[in-house]
Each structure stands twice: as structure tokens, then as C-alpha cells.
Chains A and B, each alone.
Chain A
């Protein structure tokens, strides 16, 4: 980008102190995650005293059943919820930015349907093929996701351009096409319907340290890359032409965000299944809370996504214990009222 001086650049975007604001938000956010995470650790089918939990945490005890429950079930699940919420919300924010569409979510560009089709077809064939494919579900989901990403890219590319409307339309088309095949699989399989449905609704119950090792690096790297594109995203928010006048190569930016976001989503979704709503609504909530500047809005989205998903998952696994509710149900049930409330409050304040 071409700006003559730093002060000019700051003035243009209206935040001379955004750096401090961002650091403050990240610190406060991580503290909030720690506190809420610890509260979440206290809930579960098995009642464990907070004191006992602290001692298990402190001594890193994993040799008895309570230790196993905390260290191998609850903590990995908590971290997984955190990483997933972070990814969904920040990618949702990024996609809303490049598509200039408030209804965009991380699933709109077809990745999720691809991942879902990969996982569901593995589930569908294993009985007939007599193969035990469940441990490899993430691999199948990831393959499906990348097939979808490449399809969307190839369908929407025009020479070297990636026009916004074509990208959106290709994403929606791929989504519909893959969803139709998933529905077909659901209709013709009997024994696996339940596992497929649970996968489609998202499921954090099998989170393990192993999964966390796999996804944490791509997630953090991806978020840094997204946040570092904030200024360009801010420019594109003014309008396609305006951004071009500011020297932003909108097509390039779109391609970049599409690939970074889709890859992050593909990796996360392969392990967790499709958790809806977070990626659509959390960026809006963040925007309502801190305004539209992506430099602030994206980190706030990521952190609130984490907190939101940790809370939802805690509810999902305890509300009708010992049976678990699919987390997607909870995200939508809790999220929509909060969202509507915030929206109404904003409209009252702004008078429109």
C-alpha cells in the first residue's frame, strides 16, 4: 500500500491508538477465556469439587479416573472448543469482509459441504466395504473440503480474476450440490444415519490432545494472516472501486482470504464436524461491540467466538446428562436471542 507517512495512514483510518486497544483486547480476552474455561471445567456428568479440580490441575494427575476425566476429556475438549470458536468467528468475519455480504459465514463458500460429504461417504461405505474408517474421518473430511475449495475456485475464476459475485455463486452452487449428495446418503443408509447426523451437527466429544496438535498451528497462523489483512479489508468495506482507488488489489485480497479461510475451516471442521451459527453471528456481535475496523473487530471476533463456544459446549454436555446435545443446537438456541437483543439495542441507540 502506498501511504506517504505513518500519521497520514492513521488519520485515514481514524484510530491512532488501535495498537494499544488491540493488545488490551487480546490480553483481556485470553484472561476471560481462562476464567470461563475454568468454570466450564467444573461442569460435567461427574461432579468434581473445584478444589479437587485445582489439585488435579496442579499435580498433573492422570493416574485415576477423575484425573483422566479432567486431563484427557474436559481439557482437550475445552481447548478444541476454543480453537474452533476462534477459527469459525474470525474466518466468518473475513468472508463477510471480502464478500461484502452480512449473510456470509465460513460455510458459504462450500468448504463445509465438501468436508461433510467426505466424512459422510466414509461413514456410508464402511459397512458395505467392511472397513473401519472412523479413525480416518478427518482425512476424508479434509479431502472433501479441498475438492470443494478447488471446485469453487475453478468455477469462479475468470482468467486471473476472482469476481465477488462469481465466488459467492460458485460457493452456493457447490454447497447445494454436495448437500444433495449428503441427503441422498442419509436417505439410503440406515445404521449410520445417527453418526452422520451427529457429524453434520458438530461434535466435540472426541477431542484429544492429538487433534489439538494438528490444528493449533494452522489456526493461529491463519488468524495472524487474516488480521494482518485488516487494512485491506477495511478498504474493501468502503466499496470495490474505492478500494481500487486506494491501491488495493481486491481480487488478490479476495483470493488470499478465500484460501486462508477455507484451509483453516477445512482443518478444523474435519475434526469437529459442522458447528453452525458461530461464524455467522459472532463477527456481527463483535462489530456491534467495537465497530467495523477489522484490526480490532477480527481479534474480538476470534476471542468472543472462543468464549461463546466454550460456554455452548459446557451447556451441550451437561444440560441433559448423561446424554449429550449436539453443540450446533445450543449455539443457535443461545446465539440468536443474544444477537437479536444486541441488534435491537443498536437500532434504538442509533435511532434507525
Chain B
């Protein structure tokens, strides 16, 4: 089955399901509402939340994108986008959560992340706080997260508006390369020059982005994030190497590219020979917020440019 059609179909169907489930509720009279978060926990929101704490960058970005930033009273150390987020009081790192700090802010709603890993979430729920764990594992789920947060905050229309425009952008990218046959798609390797190469296999957002942008992820046969060997990279001969990074400092960017070139046996790779190594801001590729679409567009541009060469 054609993966692209499958993905677009899933996006559409999930979109309709969400629209149906949110439909028919006006924004004022909807409380109390019962929501089921990504951890599968049922949470009842009794009133429109006035004070929100976000424990993850993805949630913070969604809140800003929805225009809810004036309700945000706490964010994590990692919430660096948009720049205004850094003006909001920090609650520290994501694991373990600083419960004392969170409680002292007296939030009506806590938008948490990665509940599978933290023991703090059951603990803070026990104390009577409303916690929604949001953790998207695909672009579709990211769009769902946006509508979910919008619903919890009483502005479902705003959420739909945002996801509709994001979907339009996604569909534009897909239509731009829909006539290109599979064999002509560039083979893409994502990793770094570090000792262990963690590469995104199928089921990761990154794999989805590469596919939607018209590339072929060389680790698409693997499941989830996998440590891969240098040999696998050499065997698959990638046309493009993407290095996701948190620091876009020019010196470090050059160093990262050099690390890749200097890896034993990699000098003959098409990507290295043609200097098709791209350092990309990882937040656009990993962070499960609206900027994933920006990352998608960026990848498409890179792939498009290289195909033309």
C-alpha cells in the first residue's frame, strides 16, 4: 500500500473523528468536561482553567500558538520558544518534576508530558491537581494534542482553526512531490557523529516527516528509535545526512559536519561526497508542537533542492 495515501487518509480520518467529538459544544457551557489524556487517564475539568503550568516545550508552544500565553504561569527549563516563553517563571526540569514549585503556583491545569516515565504525575494527581498528560507520537497526534488543549481550555474553535491551517500546509507539501516515483526519492540518514548513532525508525515523528517531505528514511525498516551501526549507514549509501541539533552555533555546526565526514568509511557516501550534510534545528523535527510543520517544509526544501541537482 502506498504509504503516502495511507498517511493522508489517517490524518483526515483522525481529523474528522476529533471534529465530530468536539462538535456541538459551545465554548462557554462546556464545563465540566471529562477528557481522556494520552496516558489513558480520565480527567474532569470543572471550570475554564485560568492558570496553566506546562511542563514541556511542546505544550508551551501549543499554548502560545493558541494565544493562551497570558494564562501560562509556569514552564520548564527547556521551554525556549517562542522567546517570550522564557519570561514566564520556570518550574525546573521535566524529570523529576519539582512538585513544591508547581504546587506553590496553584495552577488550575497542569499540561504534563512523558507521564510514562515520571512517578510525579500520580503523586500530584493524588493531591487534587488537574493533570493532562500530552504526548504525541505522530503528526496526526500532534494535531490532536492542539485540539485537545484547546478543548480543555474552552476554545475548541480556535484549536480547529489552527489545525486546519496546519493540515493545509502539510497537504501542500505532499502535493508538491506526489508525482515523484519512489526510486527517485533521496535516501536520508538522520544521526550525528557521536559514538552511538540513534536513528529514528518507523513509528517516529521524524520518519513521518521524512516520508511526507518526499524522502526515504534509511532506517524505516526499524521500529522506533534504534541505535544503529556505522556499517548499516555505509551499506544503505544515503544521499542526504540530516544532523538534528540543539545548537545552531556556526562553529559547532562545522564541527558536527566534520565529525560526520571523518567517521571511518563514510567518505565515500554520496551524501558526504556531494556535501549534502544538513544541520537542522532539532526542535523543528522532534518537538511535538505546531512547528513540526515548519520542519516538514524545511525538509521538503532540502530534498527538492537536491533532487534538482
* A interface with B by C-beta (< 8 Å): 44-46, 65-66, 68-69, 72-74, 123, 126-128, 132, 134-135, 137, 187-188, 190-192, 194-195, 198, 203, 205-206, 208, 317, 321-324
Instruction: Give the CA-CA distance A203 to B120 in the complex, in Å.
Output: 11
- Please state if B100 and A73 are interface contacts (CB–CB under 8 Å): yes
In the A-B complex, list the 7 residue pairs whose CB atoms are closest, starting with the nearest: A322-B92, A195-B117, A322-B98, A206-B119, A46-B104, A190-B225, A323-B92
- Please state if B117 and A206 are interface contacts (CB–CB under 8 Å): no
Would you call B248 an interface residue if the criterion is a C-beta within 8 Å of the partner chain's C-beta atoms?
Answer: no
Contact digits for B225-246, partner A, Cβ 8 Å, 1 yes 0 no: 1010000000000000000000
- Please state if A206 and B77 are interface contacts (CB–CB under 8 Å): no
A-B contact pairs, 15 of them (CB 8 A): A45-B100, A65-B103, A188-B227, A191-B117, A194-B95, A194-B117, A203-B119, A205-B99, A205-B120, A206-B120, A321-B92, A321-B98, A322-B98, A322-B101, A324-B98
Which residue of B40, B104, B120, B227 contacts A132 across the interface (Cβ within 8 Å)?
A: B40
Q: Is the interface of B mostly helix, strand, loop or mixed?
A: loop
- Please state if A134 and B227 are interface contacts (CB–CB under 8 Å): no
Q: Which residues from chain B contact A324 at a C-beta distance below 8 Å?
A: 92, 96, 98
Instruction: Give the CA-CA distance A188 to B91 in the complex, in Å.
Output: 30
Q: Which residues from chain A contact B198 at a C-beta distance below 8 Å?
A: 190
- Please state if B122 and A72 are interface contacts (CB–CB under 8 Å): no
Contact digits for B185-226, partner A, Cβ 8 Å, 1 yes 0 no: 000000000000010000000000000000000000000110
Residue of B nearest to A67 (CB): B103
- Please state if A73 and B116 are interface contacts (CB–CB under 8 Å): no
Q: Is the interface of A mostly helix, strand, loop or mixed?
A: helix
Which residue of B40, B96, B103, B114 contacts A205 across the interface (Cβ within 8 Å)?
A: B96
Instruction: Give the CA-CA distance A351 to B91 in the complex, in Å.
Output: 53
Q: How large is the interface on B (under 10, 10 to 19, 20 to 34, 35 or more residues)?
A: 20 to 34
- Known A-B contacts A203-B96, A321-B98; the reply to A191 vs B114 at CB < 8 A is yes
Instruction: Give the CA-CA distance A148 to B67 in the complex, in Å.
Output: 54
B131 to chain A, nearest CB (A): 13
Which residue of B115, B117, B127 contacts A68 across the interface (Cβ within 8 Å)?
A: B127
Which residue of B40, B90, B91, B117 contacts A192 across the interface (Cβ within 8 Å)?
A: B117
Q: Which residues from chain B contact A317 at a C-beta distance below 8 Å?
A: 100
Q: Which residues from chain B contact A66 at a C-beta distance below 8 Å?
A: 104
Instruction: Give the CA-CA distance A89 to B235 in the complex, in Å.
Output: 55
B114 to chain A, nearest CB (A): 7
Which residue of B90, B96, B103, B227 contacts A69 across the interface (Cβ within 8 Å)?
A: B103
Q: Which residue, B39, B100, B121, B127, has most C-beta atoms of chain A within 10 A?
A: B100
Instruction: Give the CA-CA distance A188 to B196 in the complex, in Å.
Output: 11
Residue of B nearest to A44 (CB): B100
- Please state if B104 and A65 are interface contacts (CB–CB under 8 Å): yes
Residue of B nearest to A131 (CB): B116
- Please state if B126 and A322 are interface contacts (CB–CB under 8 Å): no
- Please state if B123 and A65 are interface contacts (CB–CB under 8 Å): no
Which residue of A134, A208, A322 contacts B116 across the interface (Cβ within 8 Å)?
A: A134
Instruction: Give the CA-CA distance A128 to B137 in the complex, in Å.
Output: 12
- Please state if B116 and A126 are interface contacts (CB–CB under 8 Å): yes
B97 to chain A, nearest CB (A): 8
- Known A-B contacts A68-B127, A323-B92; the reply to A132 vs B116 at CB < 8 A is yes
Q: Which residues from chain A contact B123 at a C-beta distance below 8 Å?
A: 206, 208
Would you call B106 an interface residue if the criterion is a C-beta within 8 Å of the partner chain's C-beta atoms?
Answer: yes
Would you call B93 an interface residue if the criterion is a C-beta within 8 Å of the partner chain's C-beta atoms?
Answer: yes
Q: Which residue, B77, B95, B106, has most C-beta atoms of chain A within 10 A?
A: B95
Which residue of A45, A74, A128, A195 contacts B118 across the interface (Cβ within 8 Å)?
A: A195
Residue of A nearest to B106 (CB): A65
Q: Which residues from chain B contact A73 at a C-beta distance below 8 Å?
A: 99-100, 103
B248 to chain A, nearest CB (A): 23
- Please state if B95 and A195 are interface contacts (CB–CB under 8 Å): yes
Contact digits for B100-136, partner A, Cβ 8 Å, 1 yes 0 no: 1101101000000011111111110011000000000
Residue of A nearest to B121 (CB): A134
Residue of A nearest to B107 (CB): A65
Instruction: Give the CA-CA distance A323 to B97 in the complex, in Å.
Output: 8
Residue of A nearest to B114 (CB): A191
